[in-house]
């Protein structure tokens, strides 16, 4: 259905006397993610669910959120990407000791440019981009709009390049391109430094 079209929805109900009553509502069609923003804020990409593995697992640890489900890469795959493709990777996953260093106790979201300093492998090298994370009080990504993301994701006074995470919690992030988003951790499986995080995320489309 084309953006800017007006859709009329009519509801009809029959009462006890077999008489019909009706009510109608008009809706403006806006682009996906606008949520009533009317074009003021960047659009949101559709919500996506992915699995990321930690440093010794078989699953990919690297994610370019702008690519959705197809943006997950293993360590080997990352090394074969072009410089621009490597720079698009904005989230990685690993297990730390809760202190910002590679470890076995604490699942963590890791900014690509923080991996080397935390003693994780860093196949991105100089193409590792910077992302910040922050714990949020939000508990669900359902019904989050572009307006919500633009107005409520604020890392001015507080953020982390390595964010310890837990199941059921929501975290915001801002990547090097300035795109804002939310991540909800659905499950974390495995043990020690071999974990898999399943999470859903929303992110702005930055043109």
Total-model pTM: 0.80
For the chain, helix, strand, coil in percent to 5 are: 15, 40, 45
From CA 14, how far away is CA 65, in angstroms rounded? 49
- In tens, the pLDDT along 45-95 reads 999 999 999 998 889 999 999 999 999 999 999 999 999 999 999 999 999
- In tens, the pLDDT along 98-144 reads 999 999 999 999 999 999 999 999 999 999 999 999 999 999 999 99
């Amino acid at each position: 259905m084309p953006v800017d079209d007006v859709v009329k929805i009519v509801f009809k109900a029959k009462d006890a006397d077999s008489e019909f009553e009706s009510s109608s509502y008009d809706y403006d069609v806006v682009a996906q993610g606008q949520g009533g923003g009317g074009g003021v804020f960047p659009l949101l990409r559709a919500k996506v669910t992915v699995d990321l593995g930690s440093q010794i697992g078989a699953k990919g640890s690297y994610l370019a959120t702008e690519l959705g489900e197809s943006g997950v890469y293993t360590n080997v795959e990352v090394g074969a990407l072009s410089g621009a493709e490597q720079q698009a990777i904005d989230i990685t996953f690993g297990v730390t000791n809760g202190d910002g260093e590679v470890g076995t106790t604490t699942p963590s979201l890791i900014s690509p440019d923080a991996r080397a300093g935390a003693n994780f492998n860093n196949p991105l090298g100089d193409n590792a981009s910077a992302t910040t994370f922050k714990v949020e009080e939000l508990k669900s990504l359902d019904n989050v709009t572009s307006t919500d993301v633009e107005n409520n994701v604020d890392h001015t006074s507080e953020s982390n390049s390595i964010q310890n995470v837990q199941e059921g919690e929501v975290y915001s992030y801002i990547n090097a391109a300035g795109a804002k988003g939310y991540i909800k951790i659905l499950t974390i499986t495995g043990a020690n430094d071999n974990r898999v995080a399943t999470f859903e995320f929303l992110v702005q489309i930055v043109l």
